[in-house]
Chain A
Amino acid sequence: MKMVDVKPMNKDYQSSLISLLYQLADDDFILAYRGSEWLGLAPHIEEDVAFSSISQDTMGHAAMFYQLLSDLGEGDVDDLAHARPAKVRKNAILLEMVNGPGHYLSKPSYDWAFAVVRNYFYVQAKKVRMESLKNSSYDPLANAALKVNMELYYHLLHWKTWFVQLMQAGGEARKRMEDAIHRVWDDFAGVLSLGPLGKELATFKIIESENILKGKWKQSMKPVFDSVNLLMPEEFGTQSGDGRKGVHIKDLEDALLTLREVYQTDPAASW
C-alpha cells in the first residue's frame, strides 16, 4: 500500500473526518455489491452493460475512500472492505437492503423499480455531497470528490432517464415505481444523515451541514418530481434504524458472508 504523509491534525477534527469517510466508503461499497448481484439480470443487455459499468465506478469510489482511511492509519484497504463486522459499518441501511427476494444465483426475484429509485435518489445525494466536498478543508478528500463527481454526471443522467420513463409509462410500471418510492422514503433519512458527528463536520468545514445538503437534494429533485406528478414529502424516515450508528439488518450480515467468502479463507494470503 502506498504511504501518504498526513499532516498532524486536531484529534476532534480527525475523528469527525474518519467518521465521514467510513460513511462514504461503506455506502458505495455495499451499493456496488448490490449492483454486482444484478449482473446478467437487468431488463435488457444494454442495461446490463451500463449498470455494471456504474457499479464498477461505484466500487472504485469505495476503494478511493477506503484508501483515504488507510492513509489516516485505519488499516489495510482490503481488510477495511472485507473484514469489518456489520456493527462497525456506517452505510445507510437503505443501501444494504436486498435487491428483492431470492438469491443472485437462484430464483432472483429482483425488483427493477426499487433498483431505479434507490440508485437515483442515492446518486443525487452523493452528488450533493461531492459538490460540497470539493470545498472541503481536507484537501485529499476535496481532490477525491472532484474525480468522483465527474463520473456521477453520467450515473445521474442514467438513473434519471429510467426514473422519468418508468414514472410516465403509467399502469403497472407507475404502480411499481410508487411502491418502490414509498419504501425508499421510509429509510431515506439514513442516506441523508451525516451521523453522530454531523455538527462537528460542518464546524470543521469538512462538509456542509446535513440540513443544507438535504435542502440541496430537495431542490435538485423538485423539478423532476413535478414533471412526473410526484409530491416531495416533508420528512424522510429511518424506519429500519440508523446505519450511521452501526445499526444494521440481517441483509448486511448475509451480504458480508458472501463478499468475504474467498477473502476470509486466508486474509493474510495474496490473492
Chain B
Amino acid sequence: MSDVIFSNQLTEQEKYGHFLKRIEAGEKIEADDWMPDEYRFTLIKLISMHGISEIMGALPEKEWVPKAPSLKRKLGIMAKVQDEMGHGQLLLRVAEDLMKPLGKTREDIMEDLFSGRLKFHNVFHMEAPTWGDAGLIGWLVDGAAIISQTNMLNASYGPYARALKRICAEEVFHAQHGEAIIMALAEGTNEQRTMVQEAVNRWWEALLMFFGPADASTTGTSKQDITIKYRIRTKTNEELRQDFFSKYIPRVLSLGLTLPDETMHFDKEKEVWVYKQPDWNRFKEIIKNNGPKSKDRLELRKTAYIENQWVREALNMAK
C-alpha cells in the first residue's frame, strides 16, 4: 500500500527507474504493482501464449488417451493430460490478472486464439499419428518444456514464477511418463522400435524449433532481448537449445535410436553442438496456423466452445 502512495507522487520516469531497481535487486513484481506497459504487454503475450499452448497441447495427446494400450498407460496419460489442462488454467489466471487494467478477460483470450492473433506453440501444430508420438511428446516435448521453463523459475514477475515452480515439478513426472512409454517401445518388438524411431524422425525439426530462432535475423522478430532485460528469463534461445542437446542426445542414442541429422556432432573446442538448422520459414508458417494440424485442432476447440455456449450462458444467469 505504501508503495502505491509513494508511486503516485512520482513521474513516469521515476517510477520506471524504481521498477528497474526493484527487479535488479531480485524483488518480485506483483499483479497490483506499478509496471511499465512494455513489461505488462510482454508478460501478457508470453503467459497467455504459454497458457493457451498448454491447453492446445492437450489436443495431440487427447487423440491417444482413449487408445492407450493398457490400463496403466490409460491412467498415466489421463493424469498427464489433466495436468496440462491444469497448467493452462493456472497460467490463464495469471494472464487474466495482468489483463484486468485493460478491461480484457478470458473470453478475449479465446477469441484471440480463434482469430489467430494469439499463437500457440509450434510443436502442438504437428501430427501425432502413432502411440510412439504420444510417448515422444511426453518425453522430449515435455523435456524441452522443462528446460525452457526452468529458465524462467526466477522470473521477476512473482505470480508467473510461482506458477512455473508448480508446473516444472509436474513436468518432471510427465517426462518420466513419456520416457517409460519410449523405453517399453525401444526394448520391445521390431514394430515397436520402428514406431519410436519414426516418431523421433517426425518430431526432430519441431523440437529444434521449440526454442525459437537464435536471433531476430532469422525470423524478423524476437522477444528474447526484452524478456532478458526485464529479468523474466536468463538464457537465450540458443543456449536453451544447446542445453536440450546436452541432456537428451546421449539418452536418445543410448536407446539405439538415431537422429535424422547426419551433421549433428559436439564440437569439443567450441563446446557447442553443431546441427542442421530447421527450416525457419516453415516455422513462421506453422505458428501462423498453417501447420499440418493447426486448423483441425483450432476447429476442435472452436466446436467445443460453440457447442457449450448454452452452458456458459446458464452459468452467467446463475451468477
In-complex Cβ contact of A52 among B63, B71, B78 (8 A): B78
B-side interface residues, number (CB < 8 Å): 51
Asked whether any CB of chain A lies closer than 8 Å to the CB of B262, the reply is no
In the complex, identify which listed stretch (B33-41, B198-206, B278-286, B299-307) lies at the interface while the others stay far away.
B299-307
Cβ of A36 and Cβ of B66 under 8 Å apart?
A: yes
Known contacts: A36-B66, A169-B317. The answer to whether A81 contacts B71 by CB under 8 A is: yes
Rounded to whole angstroms, the CA-CA distance of A53 and B78 in the bound complex is 8
Known contacts: A59-B74, A110-B307. The answer to whether A172 contacts B314 by CB under 8 A is: yes
In-complex Cβ contact of A39 among B58, B75, B296, B313 (8 A): B58
Asked whether any CB of chain B lies closer than 8 Å to the CB of A232, the reply is no
In-complex Cβ contact of A266 among B81, B189, B304, B315 (8 A): B189
In the complex, identify which listed stretch (B83-91, B166-174, B209-217, B240-248) lies at the interface while the others stay far away.
B83-91
List of B residues within 8 angstroms of A39 by Cβ: 58, 62, 65, 78, 81, 85
Cβ of A49 and Cβ of B89 under 8 Å apart?
A: yes
Known contacts: A59-B71, A265-B191. The answer to whether A108 contacts B307 by CB under 8 A is: yes
Cβ of A63 and Cβ of B71 under 8 Å apart?
A: yes
Shortest Cβ gap from A260 to chain B (Å): 8
Rounded to whole angstroms, the CA-CA distance of A140 and B299 in the bound complex is 47
Asked whether any CB of chain A lies closer than 8 Å to the CB of B311, the reply is yes
Asked whether any CB of chain A lies closer than 8 Å to the CB of B10, the reply is no
Rounded to whole angstroms, the CA-CA distance of A120 and B127 in the bound complex is 36
Q: Looking at chain B's contact residues, is the secondary structure mostly helix, strand, loop, or mixed?
A: helix
Rounded to whole angstroms, the CA-CA distance of A237 and B191 in the bound complex is 47
Rounded to whole angstroms, the CA-CA distance of A48 and B74 in the bound complex is 17
Asked whether any CB of chain B lies closer than 8 Å to the CB of A269, the reply is yes
In-complex Cβ contact of B304 among A40, A81, A170 (8 A): A40
Cβ of B89 and Cβ of A77 under 8 Å apart?
A: no
Asked whether any CB of chain B lies closer than 8 Å to the CB of A104, the reply is yes
Cβ of B67 and Cβ of A165 under 8 Å apart?
A: no
Cβ of B85 and Cβ of A45 under 8 Å apart?
A: yes
Cβ of B71 and Cβ of A269 under 8 Å apart?
A: no
Closest to A48 in B: B85
In-complex Cβ contact of A258 among B58, B67, B92, B192 (8 A): B67
Rounded to whole angstroms, the CA-CA distance of A66 and B70 in the bound complex is 12
Known contacts: A78-B71, A258-B66, A261-B67. The answer to whether A56 contacts B82 by CB under 8 A is: yes
| Proximity bits, A36-69, B CB within 8 Å = 1, else 0 | 1101111111101100110110011011001000
Rounded to whole angstroms, the CA-CA distance of A261 and B131 in the bound complex is 10
Asked whether any CB of chain A lies closer than 8 Å to the CB of B288, the reply is no
In-complex Cβ contact of A40 among B59, B89, B189, B310 (8 A): B59
Cβ of A45 and Cβ of B308 under 8 Å apart?
A: no
List of B residues within 8 angstroms of A81 by Cβ: 71
| Proximity bits, A79-108, B CB within 8 Å = 1, else 0 | 001100000000000000000001011111
Shortest Cβ gap from B49 to chain A (Å): 15
Cβ of A262 and Cβ of B68 under 8 Å apart?
A: yes
Asked whether any CB of chain B lies closer than 8 Å to the CB of A229, the reply is no
Closest to A258 in B: B66
List of A residues within 8 angstroms of B192 by Cβ: 266, 269
List of B residues within 8 angstroms of A112 by Cβ: 307-308, 311
Cβ of A263 and Cβ of B85 under 8 Å apart?
A: no
List of A residues within 8 angstroms of B292 by Cβ: none
Asked whether any CB of chain B lies closer than 8 Å to the CB of A245, the reply is no
Closest to B51 in A: A45
Asked whether any CB of chain B lies closer than 8 Å to the CB of A8, the reply is no
Rounded to whole angstroms, the CA-CA distance of A108 and B296 in the bound complex is 12
List of B residues within 8 angstroms of A172 by Cβ: 310, 313-314
Asked whether any CB of chain A lies closer than 8 Å to the CB of B272, the reply is no
List of B residues within 8 angstroms of A109 by Cβ: 303, 307
List of A residues within 8 angstroms of B74 by Cβ: 36, 59
Shortest Cβ gap from B146 to chain A (Å): 21
In-complex Cβ contact of B78 among A56, A77, A78 (8 A): A56
Rounded to whole angstroms, the CA-CA distance of A176 and B307 in the bound complex is 12
Asked whether any CB of chain A lies closer than 8 Å to the CB of B73, the reply is yes
List of A residues within 8 angstroms of B73 by Cβ: 271
Known contacts: A104-B66, A263-B70, A271-B69. The answer to whether A40 contacts B300 by CB under 8 A is: yes
List of B residues within 8 angstroms of A37 by Cβ: 66
Asked whether any CB of chain B lies closer than 8 Å to the CB of A227, the reply is no
List of A residues within 8 angstroms of B131 by Cβ: 262, 271
List of B residues within 8 angstroms of A266 by Cβ: 189, 191-192
Which 9 pairs between the two chains have the least Cβ-Cβ distance?
Answer: A173-B314, A169-B314, A41-B304, A271-B69, A52-B82, A43-B308, A262-B69, A43-B311, A263-B69
Some 19 contacts from A to B, beta carbons below 8 A apart, are A36-B66, A39-B85, A40-B58, A52-B78, A62-B71, A66-B71, A78-B69, A78-B71, A104-B62, A106-B296, A108-B307, A165-B318, A172-B310, A258-B66, A259-B66, A262-B67, A265-B191, A266-B191, A271-B70
